[in-house]
Amino acid sequence: MPDSRKTYTAANRAAWNASAPLHASGPAWEALLAAAGRPGFSVLDETLSATLRALGMDGRRAVQVGCNNARELLSLAALGARPELGIDQSAGFLAQARQLAEAAGLSPRLLEADVYDLPADLGHFDLVLVTIGVLSWMPDLPAFFRILHGLMAPGAALVIYETHPFLEVFDPAAERPHEPAFSYFERTPQTVNQTLTYDGIDHGPGETGYWFVYGLGDIVSACAGAGLWIERLDEYPHTIREPEYDIYDGRTAQLPMSYCLIARHR
């Protein structure tokens, strides 16, 4: 098991770069590329779109941390924001981001970097966006929030739209998937050996990555500890995870499945 932040992030970079080619071909990619070239392009669901609209997006300078192929960053333009910077450590996904940006007629800066080792001259932004999966690839959550704080202009908003950490208690592939399979309080990094995809299909083994499970209290405390003011925290019954988690959706006794945290630079 690695014993340093840099070793963890390097392993995760290799895992995502190894999976990138699977996302840059086939009907889903071609459809995304075609959609990016049409007016009003957006992949944001209505929950996140409504949240951002309520904040007022017109003219806001936006950065997405952990932007992957930048499809969400580019989608902010449809809400009136200015998608200025996308940060990711996977060169493979940023190559896809450049294709999507060209199709969309947009030109954000796309920066390949370890988020814990960013250049000092990136500037400050009115909106910092973090979406599904990013937090759990981060080996040092308090440091991550301090970095987000450093990207924010005074009065800026941080918006995190993520899977709810309570879902980490369950294993959808288990024989009894509705019984807890893991402790909510387990913080040992989890080794991920499968190829990283979003489609719910097993693509076989890939490069080893490391997944970090944080409780909602860990996330809120790290955010507040970085000097950010928590404006609101909304929890939702709908899933934004891989298709196998759909089995937990639409139940009478419904689990929390996603959340949106909004915090402000003081």
Res 73: pLDDT: 98
Q: What is the pLDDT of residues 1-46, one digit of tens each?
A: 456 899 999 999 999 898 888 878 889 999 999 999 999 999 999 9
Res 202: pLDDT: 54
The strand pair at 258-265 and 190-194 is best described as unpaired
Which domain range does residue 207 map to? 5-265
- Tell me the C-alpha distance between 86 and 128, whole Å: 10
Q: What is the pLDDT of residues 139-173, one digit of tens each?
A: 999 999 999 999 999 999 999 999 999 999 999 99
Res 44: pLDDT: 98
Quick one: how many helices (H) and strands (E) in the chain? 7, 9
What integer is the mean pLDDT of 55-71?
A: 97
DSSP characters over 47-94 = HHHHHHHHH--TT-EEEEES-TTSHHHHHGGGGT-EEEEEEES-HHHH
Q: What is the pLDDT of residues 172-202, one digit of tens each?
A: 999 999 999 999 999 999 998 876 565 555 5
Res 207: pLDDT: 80
What integer is the mean pLDDT of 126-150?
A: 97
Return the SS3 of 155: strand
Tokens of 131: 């979406």
Q: What is the value of pTM for the model shown?
A: 0.94
pLDDT at 82 over 70: yes
pLDDT tier, 204 (very low <50, low <70, confident <90, very high otherwise): low
What CATH number corresponds to the domain at position 191? 3.40.50.150
State the angle between helix axes of 5-19 and 91-104 in degrees (0 to 180), rounded to the nearest 10: 60
Q: Count of domains in the chain? A: 1
Q: What is the mean pLDDT of the chain?
A: 93
Measured torsion, CA atoms of residues 50, 71, 61, 84, in degrees rounded to the nearest 10: 180
The strand pair at 82-88 and 61-65 is best described as parallel
Res 195: pLDDT: 63
- Tell me the C-alpha distance between 238 and 250, whole Å: 8
Query: Which of 229, 214, 213, 227 shows the shortest CA–CA distance to 264?
Result: 229
Query: Which of 123, 24, 32, 42 shows the shortest CA–CA distance to 78?
Result: 42
